[in-house]
Structure 1
Amino acid sequence: MGSNTIVSSTRRHFLRNSMVLGAAALPLSQLTQAASPPVSLPVDAALPESIRALKPVASQVVAITNSERVARVAKAQQLMGKHDIDVVFIGAGSSLTYFTGMHWWNSERLTGVLLPRNGDPVYVTPEFERGRTLEQIKLGNDVRGWQEDEDPYALVAKVIRDMGHATGTIGMEETVPFFRAKGIMDALPQARAVDAWPVTAGCRRVKSAAELALMKLANENTLAVYEAVWKALKPGMTEQDISGLIAMAYARTGLQGDASVNIGKYTASPHGSDQPQHLVEGTPIIFDGGCRAGGYTSDITRTVVLGQPSDDIRRIFDIVLQAQTAALKTARPGVTMESVDAAARKVISDAGYGPDYRYFSHRLGHGIGLDMHEWDYLVRGNTHLLEPGMTFSDEPGIYIPDKFGVRLEDILYVTEDGAALMTPQSPSIDQPFG
């Protein structure tokens, strides 16, 4: 994955979404609870005590304000001037939510916003969706509708011509499908299309205090859910059983979330396996996932053991923890992103689990915010510099084929003079939650 590319779907995320279906194997009374808002959940003796003890946190979500969105658009327009972009088209997806507050799915019907370098945004949507579009948008009210027998690209071209940019430079938000970008540019044969990532990434990669607060709430909630589920583990549970417990735990808190779960030798693959798995005492279990608060996501990985871990697991855990700490100590404004990866990788290689990607087989981390994977990446070759407000996963791991793996992941944010984690590190394999 390149440092300029936002990732909207990964194998790991697919696994997370499918694993939660394991809740279907649980008793109906528990499923009913998992699907209900946490404030209305009765105390049910069938639920593990640690999960019953979780408290609702959804009331702590403080939504992004319109004044912040106005500032986001102003910054985008400033960056458009810097990069000689006249209009940016943003289709369905997280960037549309970021700038306008709209939550829209990508389909064959064009809906999006045209953001000019100067002036107010203009929304284009199917005419039958006009009412729902007006309900959702937080900035402006200029909505242009197209009928089912009309060409939406002709309407987009007309709006751009009316803005005075028929021969201008049109930025395409990077997740806009090719067929849509082509349709717009075919309707504007004298215009030039460019990648709008300097604008979208230029705004989104540095988080505001409000964004950081939402991410911190989501991450703290995920950690509480993991601890509650760890305390509820029993020998013989399958990965679907454990994923079901995680789903019910999130339901208690009021924030939507899920996690992939892998057990024993399947922890030796960073993204796990679809093979049936059963919990045996003394073998590692990896939880990896997150939840959303106000649209912003968490991403935490914990490696735990039911019962007594072996000396090998303890030793590997301690090396991974040292690597995560080395990355945290290295991160600060002005440092290259590859340097943070290198600091963690050196600890693992020096401990005998190198060279390079032999046992630590993936990059150290990814950007995170509205999307679980977004700009930038802590990986060799990425010479971009860290800035205050940037957020990344700090997730080193060691994976021993056919035996076990250990990964620890917390979200790192860059401060004015260093970096910090949004959640406490896992201190030991024996007491993974302190």
Structure 2
Amino acid sequence: MNKRDFLKNSTVLGVTGSIVSPSSVLAQNSDYSSLKDITGDAVSITVDERKARVTKAQKIMRKMNIDMLLIEAGSALIYFTGVRWRRSERFTGVLIPANGDIAFITPFFEEPSVRESMAFGENVLTWHEHENPFDLVLNILNNLGLNKGRIAVEETVRHFIVYGTQLAAKNFQVVSGQDITRGCRMYKSPAEIALMQKANDVTIKAYQYVYQQIEEGMYPADIATLMDDASLALGGRPVFSGVLLNEASAYPHGTGQPQQVKKGGIILMDCGCSVHDYQSDISRTWVYGEPTKKHRKVWETVKRGQELALESATIGVPAGKVDDTVRAYYEKQGYGP
């Protein structure tokens, strides 16, 4: 019996004293040497492009009679400024005025790290633990000669930040900023599309590798490990690797019942990675072993639904109409609304 067969048919004791599934050992010891980094030619978003995004946002703000846009840590902060920051109980964010330069707000002890992440801009206002960070919002507005007006907040900003801003800037109306941010982020530049394509390329190649490595008895975590490691080897940063097996694949987010790969069982994967902040999100479903006639019929039905979606998604057609077209087809095939 060789080592691989031994691991498949034995229970292995981990270094922590807990029992590790044999398939986990196989997944952890997979050979990724055939996978090469394919992201070497990927170009991150330039400073000039980020500045152009701010300029576009300011143009939309002036058209909407908005004086300031408030953004906290998250994807929008990265999009406009390049600053990658985690959300915590302490406010870190950026204020984009309708006219003028952007200004960052962050705790005093975080300033060096924030400056290191900034793609552009010089104005960083800090606050100490005994101070109110939202007073700085009002100070920035007053320094621009504004005593009243409208402050827009990016749509994912948390309530304590919105509320704190409302209390500090009582003469200003706080409104949603989604029309500003979506007016920028929903339109992708060639550079963005290239990065999205590269992330998709990584995920597809990782799928191709993982497909060949799956073995009977593996657990979802084993397959997810394979996907994460393959994505890393190809140059991507794993973001999520969801794996649903057998009956669990019938539920959007699986079941608490343990599942393992088995002959004739369904493998559903939903995975994504990031390349320079742009993510893939690709799902794949197949049968381990030989599919039944029912498997093939369901697969062909879903495939036809996707084809109808692509055929329907033409310029000027509401997104809901695309969904309606596919749902109508599925209902004709006997599936629920």
Quick check: TM above 0.5? yes
Q: Assess if the C-alpha contact under 8 Å between 1:23 and 1:244 holds in 2.
A: no
1:307 to 289, 304, 325: 289
Q: Assess if the C-alpha contact under 8 Å between 1:23 and 1:243 holds in 2.
A: no
SS at match of 2:45: coil
SS at match of 1:58: coil
Give the 5 Å matches for 1:9-158. 26-27=24-25, 31=28, 46-48=29-31, 51-158=32-139
SS at match of 1:108: coil
Residue in 1 that maps onto 2:251: 269
CA 1:132–1:24 in structure 2 vs 1: closer, same or farther (change >3 Å)? Answer: farther
CA 1:64–1:283 in structure 2 vs 1: closer, same or farther (change >3 Å)? Answer: same
The AA in structure 2 aligned to 1:310 is T
Structure whose CA Rg is larger? 2
Residue 333 of structure 1: CA displacement? Answer: 1.6
Farther-moved stretch of structure 1 (222-231 vs 246-255):
246-255
Q: Assess if the C-alpha contact under 8 Å between 1:23 and 1:245 holds in 2.
A: no
Is 1:331 aligned to 2:306, yes or no? no
Residue in 1 that maps onto 2:272: 290
The AA in structure 2 aligned to 1:191 is F
Residue 104 of structure 1: CA displacement? Answer: 0.8
Map Cα deviations across residues 53-103 of structure 1 (whole Å, 9 max, x no partner): 222123232100111111101110111012111101111111000000001
Q: Partners of 1:182 and 1:24 in 2: how far apart?
A: 52
Is 1:352 aligned to 2:334, yes or no? yes
Residue 52 of structure 1: CA displacement? Answer: 3.6
Q: Assess if the C-alpha contact under 8 Å between 1:23 and 1:247 holds in 2.
A: no
2:162 to 171, 175, 181: 181
Count residues in correspondence. Answer: 317
Residue 25 of structure 1: CA displacement? Answer: 7.8
Unaligned segments of structure 2, at least 5 residues = 1-19
Q: Partners of 1:105 and 1:271 in 2: how far apart?
A: 26
* Length-normalised TM-score, structure 2: 0.90
The AA in structure 2 aligned to 1:128 is F
* Length-normalised TM-score, structure 1: 0.70
CA 1:177–1:313 in structure 2 vs 1: closer, same or farther (change >3 Å)? Answer: same
Farther-moved stretch of structure 1 (89-98 vs 145-154):
145-154
Q: Assess if the C-alpha contact under 8 Å between 1:174 and 1:196 holds in 2.
A: yes
Q: Assess if the C-alpha contact under 8 Å between 2:69 and 2:177 holds in 1.
A: yes
Q: Which has the higher contact order (CA 8 A, sep 6+)?
A: 1
SS at match of 1:184: helix
Residue 164 of structure 1: CA displacement? Answer: 2.2
Q: Assess if the C-alpha contact under 8 Å between 1:153 and 1:187 holds in 2.
A: yes
SS at match of 2:333: helix
The AA in structure 2 aligned to 1:293 is V
Q: Partners of 1:24 and 1:75 in 2: how far apart?
A: 55
Extract structure 1 runs of 4+ deviating beyond 4 A.
Answer: 22-25
The AA in structure 2 aligned to 1:180 is I
CA 1:89–1:23 in structure 2 vs 1: closer, same or farther (change >3 Å)? Answer: farther
Unaligned segments of structure 1, at least 5 residues = 1-21, 32-45, 357-434
Residue 26 of structure 1: CA displacement? Answer: 3.4
Residue 211 of structure 1: CA displacement? Answer: 0.7
SS at match of 1:203: helix
CA 1:215–1:23 in structure 2 vs 1: closer, same or farther (change >3 Å)? Answer: farther
Map Cα deviations across residues 211-264 of structure 1 (whole Å, 9 max, x no partner): 111111111211111121111111111111111211221221121213111111
Structure with the bigger percentage of helix? 2
Residue in 1 that maps onto 2:12: none
Give the 5 Å matches for 1:372-391. none
Map Cα deviations across residues 101-143 of structure 1 (whole Å, 9 max, x no partner): 0011111212111100011101111122222221111121111
CA RMSD of aligned residues (A): 1.9
Residue 287 of structure 1: CA displacement? Answer: 0.6
SS at match of 1:73: helix
Map Cα deviations across residues 308-358 of structure 1 (whole Å, 9 max, x no partner): 01100100000100100110111122110111112222221222213x2xx
SS at match of 1:353: coil
Residue in 1 that maps onto 2:13: none
SS at match of 1:304: strand
Farther-moved stretch of structure 1 (247-256 vs 284-293):
247-256
